[in-house]
Chain A
Amino acid sequence: MLEIDGIELRYGAVKAVRDVSLKVHKGELVTLLGANGAGKSSTLKSIAGVLKPVRGTIRLNGEDISSLSPEQLVRRGVAMVPETRDVFPDLTVDENLQLGAFSRRWNTRAVEATRQQMFELFPLLAERVKQPAGTLSGGQQQQLVIARAMMSNPSLLLLDEPSLGLAPVIVDKIFEMIVALRQSGVTILLVEQNATKAMKISDRNYVLSLGRVAAEGTAAEIAERSDLKSIYLGS
C-alpha cells in the first residue's frame, strides 16, 4: 500500500533523513523505532505531505504522492496524528471532530456513522462533546486527535508518538485503542519511543538510526539482535 524508496528529507541545511526505504502492506501495523533525531517524525511528515523529500519517492497504492499537498493526501486516505497533538483549543470536541471530516463533509450520513463509532471507541469524548478541546487533559486530547483523524475515514493512519508525556495507565489505554483501530481495518504506521510496548502490538518494525534504516523485522527478529537495543531503547 505504502512504498517509500530512498527518501532524503531536510530542514534547510540539516539532513533529518538521509536514506530511508520502507513498505507498509494493507492491514498491517508497522512501527518505526529509534532514538530522538533518528528521523522517525520527519518520515511521517513526508508521507503526510508536510515535508517534501529532496530525493526519493513515496508511493501510495502505486501512485507517486511525493509532491502532493497535505489536503490532497487526506482525500487519498492518509490521516496524520502529529506528536504535538494539536487540538484546536478554542473549538469544542464536537467541532474538532467535525473538522476531521472536512474532506467528506457533504456525506453527512457516513460522517455521523463514523462519529458514533468514535464515541464507542472513545466513550470519554462522548461525554465531553460541548467542552472546548483546550480544557481536556493530555490523555483526552490524544484520544480526540486520534478520533479526529479517523473522521476522514482514512485507509492509512500515521500516528506520531501517541504515548508522549502521558501517564503509564493512559498509555496502556491508548495502545488498546490503537489495537482496536487496527482491527477495524485501517492500516497503521506508528512512531514510538516506547519500543517494548510498540513491538508487542506491531506486525513489523523498522529501526531508524541517524536518518537511515538500521534494521527491519518482526519483534522477535529485532529483539534477537542485541546490537540494536542501544539504538531503539535509547539506552
Chain B
Amino acid sequence: MGIYIQFLIDVLSLGSLYALMALGLVIVYGILKLVNFAYGELIMVAGYTLFLLGGSPFPWLAMAVVAVLMAVLTGIATEYVAFRPVRSKSVTAVLITSFAFSTLLQNSALLFISPRARTVPLPSVFSDTVMIGGAIIPLRNILTIVAAALLLTVFSFIMKKTVLGLAMRAAATKFTMARMLGIPANLIITSAFAISGLLAGVVSLFWLGRIGSVVPGIGLEPLLVAFIATVIGGMRSLQGAVLGGFLLSLIVTTLNYSLPPELLKFRDAFTFSLVILILLWRPDGLIKGPATGQRT
C-alpha cells in the first residue's frame, strides 16, 4: 500500500514540475512558433537570485517572490533582446539570438558567481516529511503538487476568462487576424514571455527544493524535459503540454521504480525509446490543438 502512495505522489509531484515547465515553453511557442532556447536560464536566474538573497534578513517567502519576479523580468528581457529585434527576419536568426542570450546568461553566472554549485536557502518545510498510509513522503512533494494545482487553475482562468487570455489564444491560432482586430502584437508576445517567466520561476523554487543548489547549467535539463513533454503532448496545445509533462513523469518514475540498479544509469535511453514509440503512434503529439497557419 505504502509503495503505491509513494509512487503516486512521486509521479504527481515530478509531473507537476514537468507540466509547468512544458506550459512555460509552449505558451511562447504557440504564439511565435519558435522555441525559446533561453527558457532554461529563467530557472537559473531564479536560482541565483535565491542564492544571492541567501544572507539577507528577509523571510524566505519574500526571497522566493523576488526570485520569481526576476525570472519574469528575464523572460521579458529575452523577448526584448533576443526576439523583438529579429522577429520579422527569419526563424534561423531568432534561433541564434535565443541561443546567444542563453549562453550570455550562463556565462555571466560562470564569470560573476562561480562554476561550482551554490547552495540556496530553503525553508525547513522543504526537508520535512509526512507519513501517509504507511509511506514516508517528503513534504515538498505535496507542496509541489498543491502549488502546481493552484498555478494551473489560475493559468486556466486567465486563458479562458480574461480578454488578454482570449486574445493570446486567438493570436496563437491566427496571429495576423488577431492584429487586424486591434490586438497589439507586442502586448501579446510580451505577456506570453512574462507568463513563461512566472511558470519557470515557480518551477525553479521547487526544482531547487529537490536538488538544493544552483549551477550555471541548471537550466538544460528543465529545457529538455519541457521540450520533450511538449513534443509528446502536442506543440500547439496547452492541455497537451500539461498532459505530456505528467506522462513523461509517469514514464521516468516507473523506470526509476522498476529498472534493476545496473540498468538505471541507462534510464534516459529507455525514456527516449518510449518517447519515440509514442511519436511513431502519434506524430503530432497526443493532443493536436487547433490548426495554426502562419508564423508571425
Contact = CB atoms under 8 A, between A and B. Distances in A.
Interface in A137-181: 148-149, 152
B182 A71 contact: yes
A91 B166 CA distance: 8
B61 interface: no
A100 B181 contact: yes
Interface string B207-229: 00000000000000000000000
Contacts of B275: none
Interface in A69-113: 69-71, 74-75, 79-80, 82, 84, 86, 88-91, 95, 98-100, 102-103, 105
A149 B19 CA distance: 37
Given A88-B170, A91-B169, A105 B163 contact: yes
B177 A102 contact: no
A90 to B, nearest CB: 5
A89 B166 CA distance: 12
A50 interface: yes
Interface residues of B, number: 19
B182 A86 contact: no
B185 A99 contact: no
Q: Could you say which interface size class chain A belongs to?
A: 20 to 34
Given A90-B290, A99-B170, A82 B177 contact: yes
A102 B173 contact: no
Interface string B169-191: 11001101111111111000000
A80 B174 CA distance: 14
Contacts of A191: none
A58 interface: no
Contacts of A102: 163, 167, 181-183
Contacts of B176: 50, 70
A80 B180 contact: yes
Interface in A105-132: 105
Interface of B: 163, 166-167, 169-170, 173-174, 176-185, 290-291
Given A89-B173, A103-B182, 18 more contacts: A48-B180, A69-B185, A70-B176, A74-B180, A74-B182, A79-B180, A90-B173, A91-B169, A98-B166, A99-B170, A99-B178, A99-B181, A99-B183, A100-B181, A102-B181, A102-B183, A105-B163, A134-B290
